[in-house]
Amino acid sequence: MIGGLRRNGHSMSALASSRSFVPGALRGTLTVPGDKSISHRALILGAYAPEPIEIRNLNPGRDVRATLEALIALGARVEGAGSSVRVLGGRLREPMGTLDCMNSGSTARMLLGVCAGADVRARFDGDESLRRRPMEPVAAQLRAFGAKIESTDGTLPLQLEGTPQVQTRRFILITPSAQVKSALLLAGLFSNEPISIVGDKFSRDHTERLLRYLGAPIEWDGTRVELRGAPTRRDAIDVAGDFSAASFFITAATIAPGSDVVIRGVGVNPTRTGLLDALLQMGAQIEVLDEREAAGEPVADLRVRHAALRGITIGPDVALRAIDEIPLLAVAAAFAHGETKITGVRELRTKESDRVAAIERLMSAVGIDVEVAANGLVIRGGTPHGAGGMVETHHDHRIAMATAVLAAGAGPLAIDSDASIDVSFPAFLETLRGVQQA
């Protein structure tokens, strides 16, 4: 892989191996990698800036690498490696080959907006999993913006021609989506055109916060966004710890008897902390300590101890703020007294895998009953028992790690492949070993 381009139509993948997980309390202090969502956006805004921007605590996973390499292919310069880089942007150019978005929907959807606004022609593709994920919701909006887009039945591969003449500057979100919203904001930014968006329902606001931190004139209130100009500052960006990564340890410590952990420097953006709110309502013991700010994002340390849980009803508003953590809420619900009902989960069908089906597999592996409806789940808690069974991950990083969490409280479990973990949290297994008392 060089500069985000595809070779022989395929992306390189990590060597896969099965992996077993054991029960045991979590104790001690840990940190998690930089937030994946913020890392994508920091790199992209760095590629806009004509002067270098330093980014610290960049997420080390393959998804973020997909964005970094694609931006290099589009003409951005990146200095440094690992968690600290300097990005120098300016005018982007047509890449020499297809942009390989690997497994990253964020890369594909947001860079579609970038290329549309920058008047760049580009072909987008990804791995087999990403090729199944819908691109039409963002493509339709960008066509209204003025871009020409030809997709493969609404999915990748996809060909885009940017536009020098913006047609639409006011947009309505049919379905709330942080990635579609961000693609439109980035199209406006890279075309130097004001953009307004309505119809949001408090989806992730990392793009808005980062634009404001860098001095852009932007206003939003959770339902509407208005971007009126470009960033004016080149301040260094310190990426907050990834709440989604922390969620695995939050949930594991909650369900594993004897646990007591502190997770340092976690982003606690309220558009992301639906899992935290739901677990607290279920009876979890979670303390939010030393609240502060990093690059416009709220950050805190979290202390989590084992607690008895009760079943609750989780509505679509909370589910939207916990969309990546629904499998972990299902794990917690397996240990809760009574029923837990979760609605607003339809989007899980089109993630890296069908995560509703994945939740069914997880619950089946430990003997817990789950009922699936069109847009919801009912999980009847009890005494989950893992007996070393194998869980199929379908190459989904969050399902692989959720299995480790479930095993921490339920007993031994295994996964068919651990390769997908590198997508977001390459050091997950090492971090878990460092705090788990088997």
Q: Burial level of 338, CB count in 10 A (0-12/13-18/19+)? A: middle
For residue 353, give every residue at least 6 positions away whose Cβ sits within 8 Å of its Cβ, in sequence order, or none: 129, 393, 394, 395, 396, 399
For residue 239, give every residue at least 6 positions away whose Cβ sits within 8 Å of its Cβ, in sequence order, or none: 34, 35, 38, 39, 42, 55, 56, 57, 58, 59, 294, 295
Cα distance between residue 368 and residue 383, in whole Å: 8
- Give the helix/strand (H/E) hosting 158: strand 155-161
Q: Burial level of 67, CB count in 10 A (0-12/13-18/19+)? A: buried
Long-range contacts of 161-165, Cβ-Cβ distance < 8 Å, separation of 24 or more = 161/121, 162/115, 162/116, 162/117, 162/118, 162/119, 162/120, 162/121, 163/116, 163/119, 163/191, 164/119
- DSSP type of residue 192: T
Of 163, 154, 151, 83, the closest CA to residue 121 belongs to: 163
Q: Give the total residue count for the chain.
A: 438
- Determine contact, residues 253/284, Cβ cutoff 8 Å: no
Omega prior to 426 cis, within 30 of 0? no
- Give the helix/strand (H/E) hosting 109: helix 105-117
Active site residue 200: no
- Determine contact, residues 109/160, Cβ cutoff 8 Å: no
Which residue matches tokens 């080959």?
97
Q: Which of 127, 324, 396, 422 is catalytic?
A: 324
For residue 383, give every residue at least 6 positions away whose Cβ sits within 8 Å of its Cβ, in sequence order, or none: none
Cα distance between residue 119 and residue 96, in whole Å: 15
Q: Burial level of 144, CB count in 10 A (0-12/13-18/19+)? A: middle
Active site residues: 324
